[in-house]
Amino acid sequence: MPTTKFFQSTRKIIGAGVNYKEILRLTNAPKPDAPVIFFKPISSLLDVATGSPATTTSGASTIRIPRVFCGVINFEAELGVIIGRRCSNVAADQAMSYVGGYCLALDMTGMDFILDARPKGLPWCLGKGFDTSTPVSGLLTRAELPNPDDVRVWCDVNGVRKQDDSTRNLIFPIAELIAYVSRYMTLEENDLLLTGTPAGAGPVRHGDVIECGLGDGLVTMRCSVVDESAEPS
């Protein structure tokens, strides 16, 4: 599936929060009754495979933190699922037949928005939706990732390993996520479903370099972080 086609026709990005078992263990939180779902705008996509919309001189794609942000920005490496064909009210045992492919993704998150909004029951879309907050790799076909329910998701920051887990430890596996979301809305070809991030997500700052991947070299991605407030006006 060409990356250009993906960007031209993706209509929504759907994220799943708190979806790894280790996070529940570390926080002593109960298992959610249903997936925690949020949205990101299409304008947040950053095509790391081609370096669009922004690349540094070293060739690594650039995550740009807006000047208006003044708090913590977290990295969150994830397996992304590309919907292959239109579907609605899909049963879990049929859901994987609607998958068109996969990608590696980062869900960059302004934590101040999240931590302020959650206890108030308010939306936290501004913390998830800034430009370049959803870097994605080149796309993998189903043949290239035959077992997405057991693939490593890892992430390094400045060469230090921060995240390393397998999708076999998802609380709600891919099929359940697709089935759940499709009860509420139609999923369309090339929609992007982010499956959640492993434990270990944390802050990045101006000048940091994020490297992440799926499996052992199946696909990798490298992004540099630029804080616009640290640049000359």
Looking at residue 50, what is its pLDDT?
Answer: 62
Looking at residue 71, what is its pLDDT?
Answer: 86
Would residue 87 count as lying in a domain? Answer: yes
Would residue 212 count as lying in a domain? Answer: no
Would residue 197 count as lying in a domain? Answer: yes
DSSP 11-35: --EEEEES-BHHHHHHHTPPPPSS-
The domain in which residue 42 lies consists of: 6-48+72-151+164-202
CATH of the domain at 136: 3.90.850.10
Spans of the chain, pLDDT less than 50: 1-2, 4, 54-59
Question: Domain count of the chain?
Answer: 1
Looking at residue 6, what is its pLDDT?
Answer: 66
Looking at residue 228, what is its pLDDT?
Answer: 92
The Cα-based distances of 114 to 109, 119, 121, 129, 170 in angstroms read 8, 9, 10, 12, 22
Would residue 126 count as lying in a domain? Answer: yes
Looking at residue 112, what is its pLDDT?
Answer: 86
Would residue 113 count as lying in a domain? Answer: yes
The pTM assigned to this predicted structure is 0.92
Alpha carbon 149 to its chain centroid, in Å, reads 16
Tokens of 171: 């609380």
Would residue 107 count as lying in a domain? Answer: yes
> Which strands make up the sheet holding 192-194, listed edge to edge?
36-40, 13-17, 192-194, 77-83, 99-106, 134-136, 45-47
Would residue 17 count as lying in a domain? Answer: yes
Looking at residue 126, what is its pLDDT?
Answer: 86
Task: Write out pLDDT tens, residues 3-36.
Answer: 545 666 899 999 999 999 999 999 999 999 999 9
